[in-house]
């Protein structure tokens, strides 16, 4: 009972550090800026002004911006950056596997696209 209380209060003190109100709002403005950038590209550059086309380049930009946003949410809002390094690694390995899987499936999807549209019934012949 007492050891649980000790851990709980120790936890509150040790992990309270790092996210004061100023930091919280500045991370919010970073997220807002990144989201605004995504909208600028999607609505402005692609939709209204036609400077960029829908395709691989803008998709890579969107996914890159999304991953940066994800990093800020996980590291600061979920406080992961301030935990013990062993715990950070434990959780981060998962995200790396997911990113690996995303890239894999995008490549696979592109291949299948080519296979469905260009190649004959027996492409290996």
Partner 1 sequence: MSTTVSQLDKVKEGPWSGGKSPWNLEYGKIMMWFFLVSDAFTFSAFLIYYGAQKFAQPSWIDADKVFQSIPGIAEHGQPLVFVGIMTFILILSSVTMVLAVEAGHRNAKKEVVTWMIWTIIGGLCFVGCQAIEWTHLHHQGFWFGRNPATGITEANAIVEALQPYFTKEVSYTAALQFSNLFFTITGFHGFHVSIGILLNIIVLGMTLNNTFERRGTYLMIEKVGLYWHFVDLVWVFVFTFFYLV
In this structure, what token pair is assigned to residue 11?
Answer: 């936890």
**Helix locations, 17-120, DSSP H:** 21-39, 56-72, 85-117
CB 75 within 8 A of CB 33: no
Closest CB 124 distance from partner 1, rounded Å: 19
Residues that bind partner 1 (CB under 8 A): 3, 5, 7-12, 14-16, 19-21, 24-25, 28, 31-32, 35, 38-39, 42-43, 47, 59, 62-63, 66, 69-70, 73-74, 76-79, 83-84, 86-87, 91, 94-95, 98, 101-102, 105-106, 108-110, 112-113, 116-117
- Comparing CB distances to partner 1, the nearer of 81 and 101 is 101
Q: CB count, 10 Å around CB of 76?
A: 20
């Amino acid at each position: 009972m007492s050891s649980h209380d000790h851990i709980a209060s120790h936890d509150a003190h040790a992990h309270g550090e790092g996210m004061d109100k100023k930091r919280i709002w500045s991370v919010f403005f970073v997220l807002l800026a990144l989201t605004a950038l995504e909208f600028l590209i999607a609505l402005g550059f692609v939709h209204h002004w036609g400077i960029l086309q829908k395709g691989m380049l803008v998709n890579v930009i969107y996914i890159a911006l999304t991953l940066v946003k994800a990093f800020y949410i996980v590291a600061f809002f979920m406080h992961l950056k301030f935990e013990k390094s062993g715990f950070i690694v434990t959780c981060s390995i998962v995200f790396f596997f997911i990113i690996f899987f995303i890239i894999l499936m995008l490549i696979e999807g592109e291949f299948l696209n080519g296979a469905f549209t260009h190649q004959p019934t027996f492409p290996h012949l």
